[in-house]
Structure 1
Amino acid sequence: MRYTLSARTLALVSSAIAIALMAAVIMLAAPGSNAWSEAPIQQLVFWHGILPRIAMALLCGICLGLGGFILQQVTQNTLAAPDTLAISSGAQFALLLGMMYFPQAQLFDSTLLAMAGSVVSSVIIVLIIRRTGTAGNTLILIGLMLTLLLTTLSNMYLILNPDRLYGLIIWGAGSLSQDSWLPTLRTGWQTLLCLPLSWFLLPSLRAFSLQGTLAKSVGVNVRLVRVTGFALVSFLIAIVVSSVGVIAFVGLAAPVIARSLGVTDIRKQWGYAMLFGALLLSITDSALQLATYRWPNSVMTGTVTALLGVPVLLFLLMKQRSHTRQEVAPLHAGLRHPTSLLRKRMLLLIALAIGCFVFLPHITHDVAGNWTLVAQIDPTIALFTESRTQTAILFGVAIACAGTLIQNMTNNSMASPEFLGVTSGTGLGLIGLMMLVPAPSPVLYLVCGIGGAFASLLFVMLINARNQFQPEKILLTGMALTQLFSSLLTLTLASGMQQVQQLLIWISGDTYMSLLQNDLPMRFAIVALLVILACMTRRPLSLLRLGDPIARATGQRPMLTRTLLFLLIAALTTLASITIGPTSFVGLIAPHLARSMGFHGLRTQMLASSTIAIVIMLCADLLGRHIMFPYEVPTGLIATFIGAVYFLWQFTRRQKA
């Protein structure tokens, strides 16, 4: 009874705060409250803007809380939420496609379109659960990766159609602004339709707390209930996304708050999840409305909830303490190949890279769309192609070496600069520099990028030290930082700053648009120096893998060694991110392929992964120039596609095994 009373007390206090904030908003916006404003306009804004917005916040909070509750029940994972399983991102991307190809769609049609996108994401998640037989942290990691992939695709459409879709940036940030009661009424009756359906599903959801075989033994069709739950969540998220955009964190936090207060009865969890969801979103939105009276250019509600969600996600991740360390297959274990065979494979890789360097950059289209050579069109274009090729090579070498070091340092084959938040830290540092300094120098780019990457990697390692560096939790922490970067990026894009278009191109990975211009020789020299330093880390890395006591016994200082390795990884990642951008999975693919070919030594693996990365980037650059001719798709997006497919294949294959 004590815990239920605590939940009731929190609900009463939160309700009082929400009512007070809503009353303050109503008093400030009510007709006649401002003598200087025109009465007809103020009445119009009050009756058709402020009041529908308050009602919309409550309704969307109910939908998000209910959706998060159902997902956490059917997956039995407190980290499950519409935004961590890519259901919200799928609905948003479907609406983006609808705005591109069906701009005349009516308001109700947008709900169906959003539901189609959320259903596709839900089907992917359900198939992964069915294939891998797990709904643990692996599922959350795959969901966050799908979110990142869909965000990258959205950025591609924004780059190709900036005039038509720029308003989507503001809407996608989660804007609750309303201009009539029609969307609110539509959201209201759709929400009421879902409530009885979810209520009848509660007895079956209660059985999910049992093991799968026990749930089946009491007559519960586990597969049917899971599919039904995901379908209902898809509709709930479609309602929210089609009305106000993506609202993160609420679906994650609301059911967790109820459960953390000791509410064990599933019916009470159902009610408290919706109540806390409505109160969370209402309090946040009302506070932002009050802030607009002092700061007119206030941020969007969805951006604020996303920023709040990252600390909550990290807190829940830290709270999931395991008593046993998850075993990881050593990176250097496996079949040892003869030296002669490895030498032949290395020569073939180098020959392939040279062939790609010689031939691929010179293939292009003429005005009529026919295949031809660059030199036959205009020799001037060859200069741009040469610069683009050098940029791709520089990025490939830097990010491949960084990925090799991270995988060897963490003894985790799925680690990479993209998944450990290193590239996100670089992006955060560069965005902060762009916002503070109008025309930064190359030195400032390097310093801020390295500082952000180093801070992110150090934070990931410190957070996971208490969890004995479990691989999946390390990756989840890095993906949480990636979510933070995406939220701040959305906030920056919605601010209307002059560097918006440059940011969009940079985050998508365009080899033409580098943040540093005319300094490729200098960057090649820096990368060559860093690669030499990386090759000299073979002995320290080998000792660290044996444990800190053995490393100290041989005269090593583990903490200092890790710090220096962090700085080296941060410098390599910063050079790669400044050159192209933070969206690529080359740092994951290249070391993985090099190791699968038998290159287990640090130096040979670094050389092989660099060569593979060069081939991947040159092929991605060729596809980016021709897949949507005459438009160009940024190279980083093509590499992201390749990496996403490879990541899903590797994870599902490993879990199935």
Structure 2
Amino acid sequence: MVTLALLLLVAGWLSARGLARTLPPALWGTLLHGEGGAGAVGTVPYLIFTQVDLPRLVISLLVGVALGWAGLLFQQSLRNPLADPATLGVSSGAYLALTAASIFAPGLLVNGSAAITLAGGAAACALVMLVARKSRYATVNVILGGLIVSLFCGAAASALALFHEEYLSGLFVWHSGSLAQNGWDRVWYLLPRLAGLSVCAALLLRPLALLALDDARAAALGVNVARLRLGAIAVGVAFSALSVSAVGVIGFVGLMAPNLAGLLGARTLGQRMIAAPLLGGLLLWLTDQVVQSLPGLASGMPTGSASALVGAPVLLWLLLRHREDYAAPPDMRARDTVPSRHVPARMLVCCTLLLGAGLALGLGVGRDMHGWTWFSDSAATITNWRLPRVAAAGMAGAMLALAGSLLQRLTGNPLASPEVLGVSSGASLGILAALLLTRQLGMGEMLLASMAGAVLTLLAVVALNWRSGFAPQRLLLAGVALSTLLSACAAFLLTSGDPRAAMMLTWMSGSTYRATTDAIAPGMTLLVLGVVAALLGTRLLAILPLGTAAARALGVDVTLARLFFLFVMAALTAGATILVGPLSFVGLLGPHLVRRLGLLRPRAQIVGAVLAGASIMVLADWAGRVIVFPWQVPAGLVAMLVGGPAFLWFLWRSQ
């Protein structure tokens, strides 16, 4: 109760101070009672006070209440303390639907956006539930599926925004969760709908309390578990969609509110149904007031980004606190460590031919206003422009695939990759921070900054999972939470107003637009060094998946070996991030592709991963240049749009 009172006191004090800056407190009472203060009515301060500041305060409370309800319903129905609209992909699905409707069917928005966001959120949630159904909605599978759906929806929305920026210019800041208001319309729109949904949620109290038991016991007590779970999730999706339609995507409030309610002593479901919505409103109100009170951020940083800065550490803390036994999915250890009689050379030849075809397409095939072209008369001139992009894409893909292959063998987890564990986000944050702290960055400085960010992220992942023995799925959750935190930090830095930060936006989407011939030599050097280091460690890569005890029995210094490979992975990820940015899934797709081709031994996997990763990114860069000509889609964005569904499929298959 002391904590709750303190939060309430701070939020109230910040609100009073902010309102006082707009209108002197002496006029508040007279204006509200209609007595005196006539001189203030109609003035700019009066209008800002009554039509901007007060509606924003109320909307923060209402949206926080909605997210608190949604988080509670998701967590109770799935028995998952890490579930909320952001981690289940509901908010991102709703935003993607709203973006698509704004472009292709704006007439649907005439009667409001709630129905559209509801459809998008429901579709995203249904996909997550479908992926996690085989595991009976295990915590990690639900969260991983939801976060990958969120990334995919975000990439799809970004792709749409690239081609229709003139229609979506007002949607960018709103997407990050903007509570800015211009009147009371949204308040009156939300209030009756939230009241109706709250009644529906309250009616689920008794059956949801039984759902705290396992499914079999709840069914024995007469509960239709499937129907009840579907109903509770549907109401939660409705709460989430309503909040997205009103203010955009607000992250992690739905995660924090129910868990904070439990920590503050709300033990029964009835108590949590009262506490969680109230705490959700309080948390969002407090976050918004903090954003408005910080110098330089009141108009630059959306509240949704600030809530992610707070929520991602909470997710990490809950992950460490959560005592569930995370059973690993059937991984590739046994199959990867069984020596085959011969290296399937024909598969390596196929990968080489695929890369050759990708290079031919990337350098020779294009589109112009007259149609398709193939090594035209101006081939030499065009090649000079295309070569840096193709080389950057190929080298980045090879580095990421090699780093992903090393990471998967090191952790014994087929779902691990530099992108999923947050290493790419850490590398990009290192570059962004260095760029804002210095006047100019050369290639060497960028590599050092990127490596520093990648190494620190890897060390954080290791520290968070040391006591759990690097349980594969716990490792993934920690990485995803760190990735979210680092992305929020990057968004925070981008609000600095520095023009150099604005230039980073295109790069962060995985673009090769700014690739130059100067980057080819250092990039190739780093790639060759990484391949050589990996090939020299093939014996260790064959032994480490056997387990710590077995590796030590064979004379391997496990700690030193892991640190060596962590450094190699960090260097490769840093180099790839410099070339094309952090957005791609090649670190996941490349290793899986070579395993599907039968390349199981470490040496064959290393060579195959390099060839496959380079092929994927070269083809992605080429497809991004020609598929929607004359517009261009960043290669990383194309890889993300392909890699997201692939990750979900791998997750579904691994259960």
Common fold by TM > 0.5: yes
Which residue, out of 330, 333, 347, partners 1:331? 333
Query: 1:462 is matched with which residue?
Result: 463
Which runs of 5 or more structure 2 residues have no equivalent in the other structure? Answer: 28-39
Query: 1:5 is matched with which residue?
Result: none
Q: Is the 2:291–2:306 Cα contact (8 Å) retained in structure 1?
A: no
**Residues of 1 paired with 2:21 and 2:362: CA distance?**
63
Q: Is the 1:31–1:43 Cα contact (8 Å) retained in structure 2?
A: no
Q: CA deviation at 1:443?
A: 1.0
Q: Is the 1:31–1:39 Cα contact (8 Å) retained in structure 2?
A: no
CA spacing shift, 1:434–1:154, aligned 2, 3 Å: farther
Higher mean displacement: 540-549 or 42-51: 540-549
User: The residue matched to 1:364 in structure 2 has which SS?
Assistant: strand
Query: 1:628 is matched with which residue?
Result: 628
What per-residue deviation string (whole Å, max 9, x for no partner) do you get for residues 563-621 of structure 1?
Answer: 22221111111111111121111111111221232222222110011111222223222
TM-score by length of 2: 0.92
Query: 1:572 is matched with which residue?
Result: 572
User: The residue matched to 2:373 in structure 1 has which SS?
Assistant: strand
Query: 1:66 is matched with which residue?
Result: 69
Query: 1:15 is matched with which residue?
Result: 8
What per-residue deviation string (whole Å, max 9, x for no partner) do you get for residues 113-163 of structure 1?
Answer: 222211211221232343443242111011111111222223333433445
**Residues of 1 paired with 2:283 and 2:326: CA distance?**
36
Which letter does structure 1 place at the counterpart of 2:69?
L
User: The residue matched to 1:522 in structure 2 has which SS?
Assistant: helix
Q: CA deviation at 1:263?
A: 2.1
CA spacing shift, 1:219–1:585, aligned 2, 3 Å: same
CA spacing shift, 1:311–1:532, aligned 2, 3 Å: same
Alignment of 1:359-438 (within 5 A): 359=361, 361-368=363-370, 370-376=371-377, 379-438=380-439
Which letter does structure 2 place at the counterpart of 1:410?
T
**Residues of 1 paired with 2:492 and 2:160: CA distance?**
18
> Given the alignment of the two structures, is residue 176 of structure 1 paired with residue 169 of structure 2, yes or no?
no
**Residues of 2 paired with 1:229 and 1:603: CA distance?**
50
**Residues of 2 paired with 1:460 and 1:649: CA distance?**
25
Which residue, out of 139, 147, 151, partners 2:154? 151
Which letter does structure 2 place at the counterpart of 1:424?
S
Q: CA deviation at 1:193?
A: 1.5
> Given the alignment of the two structures, is residue 512 of structure 1 paired with residue 513 of structure 2, yes or no?
yes
TM-score by length of 1: 0.91
Q: CA deviation at 1:283?
A: 1.7
Q: Is the 1:420–1:478 Cα contact (8 Å) retained in structure 2?
A: yes
**Residues of 2 paired with 1:522 and 1:295: CA distance?**
38
> Given the alignment of the two structures, is residue 140 of structure 1 paired with residue 133 of structure 2, yes or no?
no
> Given the alignment of the two structures, is residue 24 of structure 1 paired with residue 13 of structure 2, yes or no?
no
User: The residue matched to 1:371 in structure 2 has which SS?
Assistant: strand
CA spacing shift, 1:84–1:295, aligned 2, 3 Å: closer
CA spacing shift, 1:425–1:267, aligned 2, 3 Å: same
Q: Is the 1:31–1:42 Cα contact (8 Å) retained in structure 2?
A: no
What per-residue deviation string (whole Å, max 9, x for no partner) do you get for residues 31-56 of structure 1?
Answer: 5779xx99810000001111111111
Alignment of 1:496-535 (within 5 A): 496-499=497-500, 502-514=503-515, 518-535=518-535
CA spacing shift, 1:17–1:357, aligned 2, 3 Å: closer
CA spacing shift, 1:28–1:324, aligned 2, 3 Å: closer
Query: 2:589 is matched with which residue?
Result: 589
User: The residue matched to 2:366 in structure 1 has which SS?
Assistant: strand
> Given the alignment of the two structures, is residue 196 of structure 1 paired with residue 199 of structure 2, yes or no?
yes
Query: Root-mean-square deviation (CA), in Å?
Result: 2.7
**Residues of 1 paired with 2:302 and 2:64: CA distance?**
15
Query: 1:3 is matched with which residue?
Result: none
Q: Is the 2:339–2:601 Cα contact (8 Å) retained in structure 1?
A: no
Query: 2:561 is matched with which residue?
Result: 561
**Residues of 2 paired with 1:295 and 1:490: CA distance?**
12
Alignment of 1:92-111 (within 5 A): 92-103=95-106, 106=109, 108-111=111-114
Higher mean displacement: 391-400 or 338-347: 338-347
Higher mean displacement: 260-269 or 126-135: 126-135
CA spacing shift, 1:477–1:462, aligned 2, 3 Å: same
Q: Is the 2:401–2:609 Cα contact (8 Å) retained in structure 1?
A: yes
Higher mean displacement: 41-50 or 143-152: 143-152
Which letter does structure 2 place at the counterpart of 1:525?
T
Query: 2:56 is matched with which residue?
Result: 53
Q: CA deviation at 1:289?
A: 2.8
Which letter does structure 2 place at the counterpart of 1:508?
S
CA spacing shift, 1:478–1:107, aligned 2, 3 Å: farther
What per-residue deviation string (whole Å, max 9, x for no partner) do you get for residues 306-359 of structure 1?
Answer: 100011000011112356864754535269686457122222322332233234
Which letter does structure 2 place at the counterpart of 1:29?
T
**Residues of 1 paired with 2:336 and 2:441: CA distance?**
48
Q: CA deviation at 1:238?
A: 1.8
CA spacing shift, 1:552–1:345, aligned 2, 3 Å: closer
User: The residue matched to 1:176 in structure 2 has which SS?
Assistant: coil
CA spacing shift, 1:621–1:519, aligned 2, 3 Å: closer
CA spacing shift, 1:127–1:529, aligned 2, 3 Å: closer
What per-residue deviation string (whole Å, max 9, x for no partner) do you get for residues 453-506 of structure 1?
Answer: 011011101101111211111011111122123323333444443235532321
**Residues of 2 paired with 1:295 and 1:93: CA distance?**
26
Higher mean displacement: 162-171 or 219-228: 162-171
CA spacing shift, 1:296–1:236, aligned 2, 3 Å: closer
User: The residue matched to 2:333 in structure 1 has which SS?
Assistant: coil
Q: CA deviation at 1:10?
A: 4.3
Query: 2:315 is matched with which residue?
Result: 313
**Residues of 1 paired with 2:609 and 2:565: CA distance?**
18
